Structure 1
Amino acid sequence: MPGQSTRDVNGSTSSGRVELDCIHCGLPTPCAFDTDPSTVFCCNGCRGAYDLIHGWGLQDYYALRDQVSGSPAGPAGGEKSRYDAFDSDAFLGDSAPRLQSDGMATAEFAVHGLHCAACAWLIENAAARTSGWQSARVQMSDHTLRVMFDPSRIVLSQIARLMDRLGYELAPLAGKRHDHFRIENRRLLMQIAVAGFCAMNAMWIAIALYAGDASGVEANHRFFLRVIGTGLGVVAVLIPGRTFFRGALASLRTRTPHMDLPVALGLSVGTIAGLASAVSGRGDVYFDSLAVLVFLLLIGRWIQFRQQHRAAKAVDLLLRVTPMHAQRVTTDGATEWVLVDVLAIDDVIRVAAGESIAADGYIVAGETMLDRSLLTGESQPVGANQGDEVSAGTINLVRSVDVRVAATGRDSRIGKVMQSVELAASTRTPIVQLADRIGGVFVVVVTFLALLVMVVWWSSGWELAAAHATSLLIVACPCALALATPLAIAVSLGRAAKQKILIRDGSSLQQLAKPGTLWFDKTGTLTQGRPTVELIFGSDEAVRLAAQIERGCCHPTAEAIVRFVGQGVDTWPDAKSEFFRNGVIGVVDGLTVAVGNVDFMEQQSVLVGDPIFDAICTAVGRHASPVVIGVNGEAVAVVGVADPLKPHAAETIQELQRLGFRVGILSGDHRDIVDRVAVQLGVDSELAHGGLSPEDKLSIVQQRSDGNVVMVGDGANDAAALAAADVGIAVRGGAEVSLQAAPVFIASGELTSVISLIGGARRTSWLIVVAFTVSLAYNIVAVGLAMCGIINPLLAAILMPISSVSVLTLTLLWPTFRAAKERTNS
């Protein structure tokens, strides 16, 4: 169960109001000073999920969740009538249930809201306690759920509603399931398996031969072992090792030095010399070294392939931020749930309050307010009337509207943003790593020296010349050089993950080590992204009346007022309310209550006195939007609604500037709001840009006139900018796509982690330089000894891992991402 913490709402114990954590999801919830912490819920959804979990006796969920993730689950959602569509195969698509011979049915869904192993434990235990639901299997890697149920006792809509009560949302699977990735991944794993089998068995045979040299072994046994070892080595080189030969051939065709070239040469010379030794019965057979080399290099190829696939998923994830289904209006005025893919131009869809719009179009019936933060980053909702254009991915806040479809999928505005993400990711200039700069020269030098050794020693016999050349290629194998960068980065990534800094592209560390321009998104990045309310003038009773008529509205300001009032809202009798573009009016206990801005008060003939105007000025002075509350035709209270800055935001900006970065703000919010935030944070006004579209942000990020460009954001509107920047950093709380489009994700959401990230990146960059120096020094000495004939192939196979071990030891001892205590003391 989340630990309860108490915070005074207004920063003073005299306010009589405090913030307590919701006992289910942990979100701060304003409530009275004497409220029992064990009864605090932020919404009815959390209350229902809490009662359901305890009713099943699954209280261990809270302890397991906090132990595994250290963070509470998100707030539980409410039941939605759309789950009735889960009983329609046309709606489910690929998730339609499949009947089995025993009468059971299975289905697979995407699950939204999964956080950790505790979530999987809760869902699987919930299935065991639900009649007719036989089993549930959660796949955390791709956030899917496979269910087995008895269709005669329970239907999928019931399972979907039950999941909703627990705080998780089911959705049908998308049509494409990355078949190419599965095929290629399986092929690579099969190659690794074959190489691993050959390497392990060749090593055992080599041990037997080396032991035989010391203790003696019969000639026929020796010949048998040499033949078997040779066979295993040839299989490893020719089957899984052919990848390196293809790379070497491509290197020769394009005349571009590549690490595959000396590897292929070493494998070729070693194979030929080993075969000759095995047939003649003279010389050493060292196929164990060749097989192990193939095995380790293939593992590196597989890891690289997985990273590339993860980056390529950003485009698919962007499509998921828009709904997969929509309510299409039929000719007789009824509605039906259909896949967005089947919508045609000029179809009419109905979007209920609180739902996301599934396609671009224009409103043909109704008026409402729209939350466009997902697409544009605007923190304040905007009005939309009949005839106004709307975009997919925006959220309808106030009332149901009918929208005539103008564009869907990739043709929609968010679809074009998706294409810009794809283009930015594919055309971004790759970082030229230190390994690439040195590796090309190293490959040419080693290849030339190997040929030179063959020529110099040829007069002493081809076996000796081949042995010395093979020794050179093996002992000077570029493993250490190839290992230095990825190993240093891999260790740094693991240490960063312990600080809740997740990095999927290691090259970002080298970019972050160099100063440049660092752009911040505002809403949800520099600010909390969740409006809060402060009572400027009037009484708590007036705010309670306002909350009562605002309760049915999805507007962020209405939700902030309801949160401010806290406990008891859900138990009040329903109030009759009418929502307008800039306010709401309703009747509570016989009182006519109006809530909105000054213009709305004038429209409703509400008298606004001088004290109210003074309070409005006070709210503006505190960088908050004033909201007026009127009762029976007279304004009686003013509350300020603001999106507060995150803790340590100003300190983070100052430290980044001290480290040499030019820090700026890119926001879709109003220019005046951005200017106020810039003043609070000490950001140069010339670097604070407001009113930007996603395309505008992308254009500014692409202007690389003064070094590296880093983008920090958290919304789908930032996806293209995050992908186009040299380094994109996503922070907690944004859309899923931006977390995938950006190579760095700060899971804690703390801005101070940006400082830790840059410090760790600089130390990692120094580690790479030192590791390269060590590996190069080893290779220079080893190559000299091999050229002089001091090292034979057997000794070369023993010495080959030394450089890698030295790099590994250095990397593990290097303080890249230091613990919090170490940073404090340093």
Structure 2
Amino acid sequence: MSSTCYHCGQANPADTPFTITLLGETRELCCPGCEAVATAIKQNGLEDYYQFRTEKAAKGDEQILQTLDALSVYDEPALQEDFVYQTDNSKQIQLTVEGITCAACGWLIEKQLSRVAGINQVAVNIAERRALVSWNASTITLSQILKTLQKIGYRALPFQPDEHEKSFKAENNRFLKRLGLAGLMTMQVMMLMAALYFDWFGNIDQETKQYFYWVSLVLTTPVVFYSGSVFYIGALKALSVRSVNMDVPISIAVLATFFAGLKSTLLAEGEAYFESICMFIFLLLLSRFLEHRSRHRAATISANMQQFVPVTANILDDGDKPTQGLAKSLKAGQRVLVKSGETIPIDGTILEGSADIDESMLTGEFEPVHKQVGDQVFGGSVNRVGSIVIQVEKALKEALVNQIIRIQDAAMAVKPKAAQMADVFSQYFVVAVLLIALGSYLYWSVQGSEQAFWIAIAVLVATCPCALGLATPSALTCAMARLNKNGILLKRAEALEQVNEIDLIALDKTGTLTEGKFSLRHTWVSKGENTDQVLAIAATLESRSEHPLANAFAADNLLHLSDFKVVPGYGVSGHIAGADYKMGSVVFTAADSADFPAQANVFLSRNDSCIAAFEVTDKLKSNVIETLRLFDQQLIILSGDQQRQVEQVAQRVGITTYYGGHTPEQKYQLVQTFQQQGRKVMMLGDGINDTPVLASADVSVAVGNATDIAKSTADVILLKDKIDILPTLFNVSLQTKRIIRQNIMWAVGYNFCILPFAVGGLLSPWMAVIGMSLSSIIVVTNSTRILK
């Protein structure tokens, strides 16, 4: 008699030589691939996988050694260009994992990879068959990670972003199939059972009643074991890691009611609540489907940004004749022609021409932005009017749209305190529900009630904390989507909570309140100095600087510069024509401001002797004054610019507290002082010199034209270069807090109100089903109000 493989379930060959001892017994296997997988699982102490799995694994690779060798190709840097993302200290990749069949598979993969040296983080999405892996490239290679997965029976390949929608549709179809079957069968069973309960058929004999019970049993069975399977898998996953979730009481209630009804039908005695089972599963699936759709609606606001980026680009490699090429193959330094009406294929800087650019897909602002030579454009935005040539700045995988998606994924992976508290409370609540249900059953059994079992079932169903589990995550997901749609990008989900506590907003001046587009208004030079030569030296120094002020100094013929240095918050220095030059603040250049007019704000020194001064002016951004009037929090200006200039801007915008001439260290110390006084500080900035203070603030915000280092430090990024969308952040934060409170109050209030009725035997199972399901649907629907 032939046996089946313990690992994959396929038939073993006669006299199979492949055996292994698992869970204390000798198991037969069909091939060397399954033997290698099972051995790897055993050697890593993960035999519990076989105990908790609900389906057989995929067949092992019979040519496993050759397969592992072939995986080495994924270590090639050129091949990793498209799908591996480099962070500060590690690399990160999304993998599509083949062979995942149940929740135990996800547990196995996470446990196995977390034990491998060099792997920093593993997160498996079972529904989408995906894994997010972060690793230290100096310790382990990508091929070694893939080989580790291969050895335990899972084939992994890099995840492609264009599969996102396909994956959702597959999951959506699974939901609809389960939901459709449950809905169809529920209608049929409800008609039969309701007719029996309310005696719509008149006085029918017992045999006919029994026949209706058998029909209801046949119709209910696929609902329980197909539509309801998602709850059992969730319960098994929780129990496999010695925990409980809301699927546990759901599974107990469904299976207990079904088998009680089966016994009643077989023995032709007692009660059967087949209609309650079907309705319970249908309404639960409906509430989860609504949550699934709302999450998808939220996620696609950022994920679907991929669809805005065109596949091809007009590349100007040789001469002025464009050639068609793939956008994803573009490299930094290449030139691309974008005609009127075309979508910009990649992030870059305009080299030739000017255009009106529609950036609504990034900022939510539908008014086209006029851009000219030197301005930055972003992949996915649309050239409405004009023809431009852009120079590519970075590869497509590092483009702004892809950065947004990755940042949003990372933000959603970190649960804020409200969600963490709700999760913990839900676990305790589930345990309490199970104990109360058991206590109710024991009490009514001692009282001799025949309804003891059904009272316990009603308690399980009525008080299942599904709505509580949905209260926080559904609201946060919708809030982040709403912000993203309005051009506000959250890097930390918990920052949304902290915004509610802010009572002091500190604003940098340049680039935040003002446009940061400087112009040179006046120049003063010391006696004996040549003005043109001085301007050439100034332009040469500023040509290497990222500070917006550098744009005020421009020259066609730059001088030879060496030993260039940037001192954040102070200025720049370098060696030109045998002399050491410094350009920046009066302190940095050791200038005597008395030698120049009071309006001078930038100084140039040679060999520590000041030779020139400049007045560089800026203008306020549009709508700044109107926007600042909307805030109830205290507003201050915190700037490195001269006190007199800061004072002028403060008077124009109506801010009475302002600090000028502050170095990055002084900004940092001032914010620390405010925090020690119990203030909750939000800092808005855009430059390198703002990095320390951004990192120290309770919530930090980088304005759209901020430097990369400022954006990497900030908690919130405004994709527009104006602060008029900042009130939206506060409004959504406040609305989210209010919605979460409403959701939790409703969920907890409902459970406490319904519990006495359920324990007292006044609530039949079908009533409990309707109440619990409506509670979850109300919570999800309430959360979607944030999107409007």
With structure 2 as the length reference, what TM-score do the two structures score?
0.49
The TM-score with structure 1 as length reference comes to: 0.47
